[in-house]
Structure 1
Amino acid sequence: MQLPSIKQSFKVEYEYQLYFTTGLFNIQNSLFTTLIADYKTFEPVKLLFIVDDGVQNHHPDLVSQISAYCKANEAVMKFTGSIVVPGGEQVKNGNDSIDSVLKGINTHKICRHSFVIAIGGGAVIDMVGYAAAIAHRGVKLIRIPTTVLSQNDSAVGVKNSVNAFKKKNFLGTFAPPYAIINDSGFLRTLEQRDWISGIAEAIKVALIKDNNFFKYIADNAIALKNREMEPMQYVIYKCAEMHMHHIAQGGDPFESGSSRPLDFGHWAAHKMEFMTNYELRHGEAVAKGIALDVTYAHLIGLISDADLQHVLDVMIHIGFDLSLPVKSSGEIDTLLNGLEEFREHLGGELTITLIAGLGVKHDVHTIDLQLMKQAVVRLNHQFALN
């Protein structure tokens, strides 16, 4: 007997919010308490905090402040413990930190109605999100990003990942957080290179989506470099808003297709991070990747020389070093291997986002390797390596 096939379809609606505050764990600040209380009203919610060691070093009283905050609101929340993990991209390499988070989830009996709270830069947010997503098939996550890049880009998305097989983000999940909370107080203790590097993601989204936003960044380049908080807050807000809108309105929130415009400049950035053993910050690599791709876009006639130079000048005024970490033809070839790795990561045909004008996205499916090599040489001639 031939039985008919059974077909079923369903939709799952996701909702999460991005909040902005300062001094999140000050006793007088009710934002975090209200957020937790809105989830469960009949008993305290168990919370496990994972803290970036860089954040802990700059804010040595943070864990005790969190504990005191939870104690003051014990009718709503229960502090089960905190785990300090290394910051930076190295936290995504190997299993030590993942295992540490998973062990903490098990030890403190964090269930699917408890919360893991990730406090740190983008790499820590990525790693903790991955661990939370695979524990119990997914425990709830609140992200508290502490860098410009994580507040305006990496922490506001739905992705979590770690590195494996010498490839960036080879292992990962799509798992939206319960909420994200941007606390501007954490930004004040950033090193200059971390303050600057996150602006690269704002430049990225502005160049492919909104020329007026790029003009704002250009007009405020020196103010941003000089750590003025008001323009930085606007850049973070606008970039995060555009990122979240893209996820909701782009029609492909879990990236099942081959086009990924929010990875403009990233094929080369990911490869350069690996080639430098992650000594480059992600945002620094993205700035270099954008510089390379806009140079290539000019060489194939997509943008004018004036637009190319304007983009490069804006990034230089902010403080980016746009030279590429390649000195030989062999290293250039290694860098260009990143194109195939990027295609493999996406699946399907190669899709590279370029621009056909400021604020005008343009996808291509083939890359002229000789012209891309010319773009590399041109950049390194213009911005000679020290």
Structure 2
Amino acid sequence: MARSALGKRGLAARLHGRQSPPNVHSTIWARRGPDAPFGESQLQPVSFPEATDRALGTVTQRFVVAYDYAVTFTRALFDPTNPTLVDALARREPLKCHRCLVFVDDGVLAGRPDLRAEIELYAGTHADRMQLVAPVTTVPGGEVIKTELTHIERIHEAIWRHHVDRHAYVIAIGGGAVLDAVGLAAATAHRGVRHVRVPTTVLAQNDSGVGVKNAVNVYGLKNFAGTFAPPWAVLNDLDFLETLPARERVAGLAEAVKVALIRDGDFFGWLQANADALATFEREATAYMVRRSAELHLHQIAHGGDPFETGSARPLDFGHWSAHKLEGLTKHRLRHGEAVAIGIALDTRYSVLHGLLPEGADEAVAALLEHLGFALWHPALLRLDAEGEPAILLGLRDFQEHLGGELTVTLLEALGRGVEVHHIDPDLVMAAARWLKARQGD
């Protein structure tokens, strides 16, 4: 049968409204049903209003994605009798053998040279539930992996070469920098493959490793390139902490002090009462500190109202605006936790100078940090840039630019309660820095 109404030119004209005068209806044609034989008798006209201007309307898309992941505290994670890892892999597909690509921090292997063999024995013991698609891969630990993008490319290449898909797993074992870098690679390969974190430092277990962010450093900026990508699971094996150098163990305590100061005054009091046990790395005190810090961090992410930081506030980054700048100014000779401790002391003193905290509160915070083993002064705090301005103040610009919007910095209105402010007085910042220098006796 002839199809004069549906010739190519006629159809195109109808679709573009060329045969319709303004302010009337255009017509397109549709079949009656998916099984009807093709023919003009089976076609029905469908009308729609003709737009009279360029405003064709808006369709609002809105949906909610629920995230859930387990943060498990355990010991001897790779003991074949410990089911924690295979249970995490199998939580949605219990009858499947799960393919896994494992990356390990070279610093962790230095402290536990038998770890590679332990992982292979564990996988072999649970061969019905997990499979290593390649030998355990070593990656550099510390800021090196976050500042040389070739490492991200190599992780991507390994994911591609071993055919790791969105139902397989990338497992990262290491400190916060390794979790960040491997997490970024996992989040961007195939638009996101399942990622299991095994944090091995105090800072990663009690703070960064349990969160939803990953990033690497580009253009001299801390965490410039990254994503928000909740992990599949976080497995905190407290035994890893016992092989850390003392400096690394101390560094992670800063994040516990931070989260206590902004969210839990009772926990801050517990840290003061147990400072000796924490400073000497007593097992039970360390285990409680890690767990309570992680719980507070997780609660903020889930209930703070902005888990992916779409606004301008970052309450969990109390003390971090200056800490990130200090890391860069010292070329990362200061560990992240060491810089955070200085940033906490600086912003606590600023809170006193600004009238938010009473005198003496700053001394209590500084005394606890020093008791735990931190030095609270570094000459970079007073270093001047090429224009003769304090270089540390550029950290405020970087901090604001990272999120965009209004400058929002968390200060303290009580020991255990943070408050957001939108202006920082540079003179008070430098007065706080000089206070830290004076306390140091330099």
TM-score range, shorter chain: over 0.9
Tell me what 1:4 maps to: 57
Equivalent residue for 2:181, pick from 127, 133, 139: 127
The one-character-per-residue Cα deviations of 1:186-230 (angstroms, maximum 9, x if unpaired) are: 000111111111111110010011110000001111110111011
The one-character-per-residue Cα deviations of 1:73-125 (angstroms, maximum 9, x if unpaired) are: 11111111221111112210021211121111011110000000000000100
Tell me what 1:309 maps to: 363
Secondary structure at 1:47 match in 2: strand
Secondary structure at 1:305 match in 2: coil
Q: Does 1:24 align with 2:77?
A: yes
Equivalent residue for 2:418, pick from 346, 351, 361: 361
The one-character-per-residue Cα deviations of 1:357-379 (angstroms, maximum 9, x if unpaired) are: 11121111111111111111111
Task: Report the CA distance between 1:54 and its aligned residue.
Answer: 0.4
Distance change in 2, residues 1:240/1:101 (3 Å) = same
| Higher helix residue share | 1
Amino acid at match of 2:423: T
Secondary structure at 2:334 match in 1: coil
* Cα distance in 2 between the residues matched to 1:67 and 1:27: 10
Name the stretch that deviates more: 5-14 or 41-50. Answer: 41-50
Tell me what 1:234 maps to: 288
Amino acid at match of 1:43: K
Tell me what 1:217 maps to: 271
8 Å contact 2:209–2:234 — kept in the other structure?
yes
8 Å contact 1:272–1:325 — kept in the other structure?
no
8 Å contact 1:83–1:104 — kept in the other structure?
no
The one-character-per-residue Cα deviations of 1:34-72 (angstroms, maximum 9, x if unpaired) are: 222333234311100010000011111111111111111
Amino acid at match of 1:84: T
* Divergent runs of 4+, >4 A: none
* Cα distance in 2 between the residues matched to 1:306 and 1:262: 23
Secondary structure at 2:196 match in 1: strand
Equivalent residue for 2:207, pick from 128, 153, 157: 153
* Cα distance in 1 between the residues matched to 2:288 and 2:95: 38
8 Å contact 1:208–1:355 — kept in the other structure?
yes
Q: Does 1:345 align with 2:430?
A: no
Q: Does 1:253 align with 2:307?
A: yes
Secondary structure at 1:15 match in 2: coil
Secondary structure at 2:100 match in 1: strand
Equivalent residue for 2:111, pick from 58, 61, 76: 58
What 5-or-longer segments of structure 1 have no aligned partner? none
Amino acid at match of 2:105: D
Tell me what 1:43 maps to: 96
* Cα distance in 1 between the residues matched to 2:91 and 2:319: 39
Normalization by structure 2: what TM-score?
Answer: 0.85
8 Å contact 2:183–2:214 — kept in the other structure?
yes
8 Å contact 1:45–1:77 — kept in the other structure?
yes
8 Å contact 2:277–2:285 — kept in the other structure?
yes
Amino acid at match of 1:380: K
Task: Report the CA distance between 1:24 and its aligned residue.
Answer: 0.6
Q: Percent identity?
A: 47
Equivalent residue for 2:391, pick from 334, 340, 345: 334
Task: Report the CA distance between 1:381 and its aligned residue.
Answer: 1.8
Distance change in 2, residues 1:22/1:345 (3 Å) = same
Tell me what 2:227 maps to: 173
Tell me what 2:429 maps to: 372
* Cα distance in 1 between the residues matched to 2:244 and 2:370: 20
Task: Report the CA distance between 1:308 and its aligned residue.
Answer: 1.1
Amino acid at match of 1:336: L
* Cα distance in 2 between the residues matched to 1:37 and 1:356: 45
The one-character-per-residue Cα deviations of 1:282-330 (angstroms, maximum 9, x if unpaired) are: 1111000001101111111111222111111111111100002327551
* Cα distance in 2 between the residues matched to 1:302 and 1:178: 40
* Cα distance in 2 between the residues matched to 1:319 and 1:8: 51
Bigger relative contact order, structure 1 or 2, given CA contacts below 8 A and separation 6+?
1
Q: Does 1:89 align with 2:143?
A: yes
Equivalent residue for 1:296, pick from 311, 336, 350: 350
8 Å contact 2:318–2:410 — kept in the other structure?
yes
8 Å contact 2:382–2:433 — kept in the other structure?
no
* Cα distance in 2 between the residues matched to 1:149 and 1:112: 29
Q: Does 1:70 align with 2:127?
A: no
Q: Does 1:137 align with 2:191?
A: yes
Q: Does 1:280 align with 2:337?
A: no
8 Å contact 2:279–2:371 — kept in the other structure?
yes
Distance change in 2, residues 1:299/1:151 (3 Å) = same
* Cα distance in 2 between the residues matched to 1:217 and 1:180: 24
Could you say what the CA RMSD is over the residues aligned between the two structures, in angstroms?
Answer: 1.2
Distance change in 2, residues 1:327/1:230 (3 Å) = closer
Amino acid at match of 2:422: H
Tell me what 2:158 maps to: 104
Tell me what 1:208 maps to: 262
8 Å contact 2:382–2:430 — kept in the other structure?
no
Task: Report the CA distance between 1:384 and its aligned residue.
Answer: 4.3
8 Å contact 1:323–1:384 — kept in the other structure?
no
Amino acid at match of 2:69: Y
